[in-house]
């Protein structure tokens, strides 16, 4: 999911209004799954904390699913936040209506939903307008799956359906592009081919631009593979030994292969196995 803390300087004043600037454009990004979609026909203005009623999961839903978790009614919603800018985000229909709906997981025991409870309760659903560090909660595999590395990360994946099949396939294509381009950057750095290095850097910067799809995954993969902070990418000088180690580590991943029919079948098979 996209988070403004990736940007230099952290969260600027009025970030919640800025995150909704897509409402004035033809296309914008879903705050949860990071797909770029057409405004009005494919995106909703969604409430982070539900305004009408609150539900919780029924049982222990899986991390990989194409169907939203079953809901159990908890109580009335956060009605006093219905018109709060801090409670708005842009969401696609599958994330919002198919999965999130009125779900709002919090750390138990859950307090009664009365005015002001949002100041003391511990929400497990991450707020895309807050200043959390993405890598503290998520990691991605080169086959397009997202994994939670914290309780909040796992809860967010389940609540918004971030491992549904269509997302995994779309992320795979981008992840393979990132992996191929980082390999090019590593090889050109080792052989001092400056033109190739510049081309690879520009390609990675374009893939990781905040206006593109799956920005968080792209930046995480680049940081993980090159062992550098994203902000240093335009001027980084890769250490040959370090880059080579990272490359060998990543290349062992069983899904690190060409984007072909076999790859897609493997993903569908893994997806179905994890749903069982």
Q: What is the pLDDT of residues 230-245, one digit of tens each?
A: 999 988 766 654 554 4
Compute the C-alpha angle 114/120/122, nearest 5°.
105
Using CB atoms within 10 A of its CB, is residue 82 exposed (0-12), middle (13-18) or buried (19+)?
middle
Q: What is the pLDDT of residue 190?
A: 85
Q: Give dist(CA 275, CA 222) in Å, integer.
A: 29
Instruction: Look at 146 and 41; give whichever has higher pLDDT.
Output: 146
Cβ neighbours of 224 (radius 10 Å): 16
CB 118, CB 48: distance < 8 Å = no
Q: What is the mean pLDDT of residues 152-161?
A: 98
Question: For 193, what's the count of Cα atoms within 13 Å in the CB-facing half-sphere?
Answer: 13
Q: Give dist(CA 42, CA 23) in Å, integer.
A: 11
Q: Would you state the structure tokens that stand for residue 90, as one six-digit string? A: 């842009």
Tell which residue, 139, 98, 120, has the closest CA to residue 225.
139
Q: Over the stretch 103-131, which tens digit does the pLDDT of each residue have?
A: 999 999 999 999 999 999 999 999 988 88
CB 204, CB 233: distance < 8 Å = yes
Q: What is the pLDDT of residue 214?
A: 97
Q: Over the stretch 247-261, which tens digit does the pLDDT of each residue have?
A: 433 433 333 333 343
**Size of the chain in residues:** 276
Using CB atoms within 10 A of its CB, is residue 9 exposed (0-12), middle (13-18) or buried (19+)?
exposed
Q: What is the pLDDT of residue 76?
A: 96
Q: Over the stretch 20-54, which tens digit does the pLDDT of each residue have?
A: 555 555 568 999 999 999 877 888 889 999 999 99
């Amino acid at each position: 999911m996209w988070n403004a803390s990736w940007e230099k300087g952290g969260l600027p004043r009025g970030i919640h209004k800025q995150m909704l600037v897509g409402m004035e454009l033809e296309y914008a990004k879903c705050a949860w799954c990071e797909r770029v979609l057409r405004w009005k026909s494919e995106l909703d203005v969604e409430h982070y904390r539900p305004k009408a009623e609150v539900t919780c999961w029924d049982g222990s839903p899986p991390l990989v699913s194409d169907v939203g978790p079953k809901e159990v009614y908890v109580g009335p919603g956060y009605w006093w936040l219905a018109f709060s800018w801090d409670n708005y985000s842009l969401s696609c229909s599958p994330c919002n209506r198919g999965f999130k709906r009125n779900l709002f997981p919090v750390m138990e025991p859950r307090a009664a939903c009365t005015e002001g409870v949002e100041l003391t309760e511990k929400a497990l659903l991450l707020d895309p307008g807050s200043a959390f560090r993405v890598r503290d909660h998520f990691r991605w595999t080169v086959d397009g799956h997202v994994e939670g590395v914290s309780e909040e990360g796992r809860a967010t994946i389940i609540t918004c359906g971030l491992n549904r099949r269509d997302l995994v396939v779309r992320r795979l294509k981008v992840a393979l592009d990132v992996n191929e381009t980082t390999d090019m950057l590593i090889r050109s750095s080792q052989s001092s081919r400056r033109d190739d290095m510049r081309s690879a850097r520009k390609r990675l910067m374009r893939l990781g631009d905040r206006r593109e799809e799956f920005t968080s995954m792209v930046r995480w993969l680049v940081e993980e593979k090159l062992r550098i902070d994203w902000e240093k990418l335009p001027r980084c000088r890769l250490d040959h030994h370090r880059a080579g180690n990272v490359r060998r580590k990543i290349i062992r991943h069983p899904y690190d292969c060409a984007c072909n029919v076999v790859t897609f079948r493997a993903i569908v098979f893994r997806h179905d196995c994890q749903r069982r």
